Amino acid sequence: MEKEKKPHAFEVNNRATCSMSGVEKVISSSENHISIVTSYGGMDISGKKLKINKFDSDDGSLCFDGEIDSIKYSAPKVPLLKRLFK
């Protein structure tokens, strides 16, 4: 049984500040890259001077600042057993 997906929203202001919801976890964070998992799959953010200001795992909110160059979504991975026994 699939778990219910939380709503995911993403707002960028002037390519410098970002707030989003539906974030399940932060995989990694550096000055040039932030990698997270959202309720709709993975997300990679690249840029300069990236800094997470707030992350609340209970409500899934994330806020960060920096010079955003790119945002890339990746599809959620389907478990191997589920792929084998369709």
Calpha distance 36→1 (Å, rounded): 24
pLDDT the model gives residue 75: 78
pLDDT in tens, 37-68: 998 889 999 999 999 999 999 999 999 999 99
pLDDT in tens, 4-38: 778 889 999 998 999 999 999 999 999 999 999 99
Of the two residues 84 and 60, the one the predictor is more confident about is: 60
Q: Which two tokens stand for residue 27?
A: 């995989």
Calpha distance 21→10 (Å, rounded): 7
Calpha distance 71→86 (Å, rounded): 32
pLDDT the model gives residue 3: 66
pLDDT above 70 (res 86): no
Calpha distance 23→6 (Å, rounded): 9
Backbone torsions φ then ψ of 80, nearest 5 degrees: -55, -45
pLDDT the model gives residue 1: 46
